[in-house]
Amino acid sequence: MRLFLALALLATPALAQTAPPASPRERLIAADANKDGKWSKEEWLAAGRRDMGFAMIDADKDGFVTQPELMEGMKRMQAMGMTPPPQ
């Protein structure tokens, strides 16, 4: 029984990595692998986001999407009549 419990505890982090979190926003936050508060293209794609979206939202083209860029990008997309992914 104790062994089973230990195995279950060991298995939990692996499960947390493979099971997709509830919302796209949570997926995006989880995809910030190095927790620097911004997304590289690799991290962005790992969250299941589109390459095109990255190019649109990375306003200063430094290769990273920051949280303010994300907010502004969503607003721009809405202003253009595009529907941002649900948050």
User: Which residues form the interface with Ca ion (CB under 5 A)?
Assistant: 32, 34, 36, 43, 58, 60, 62, 64
User: At closest approach, how far in Å is the CB of 75 from Ca ion?
Assistant: 16
Nearest 5°: phi and psi at 40? -75, 170
Query: Which phi-psi region, left, alpha or beta, contains residue 83 (left: φ > 0; alpha: ψ -120 to 50)?
Result: beta
CB 43 within 8 A of CB 50: no
Q: Judged by CB, which is closer to Ca ion: 8, or 26? A: 26
Q: Judged by CB, which is closer to Ca ion: 29, or 85? A: 29
User: At closest approach, how far in Å is the CB of 21 from Ca ion?
Assistant: 16
Tell me the C-alpha distance between 67 and 25, whole Å.
11
Q: Judged by CB, which is closer to Ca ion: 28, or 58? A: 58
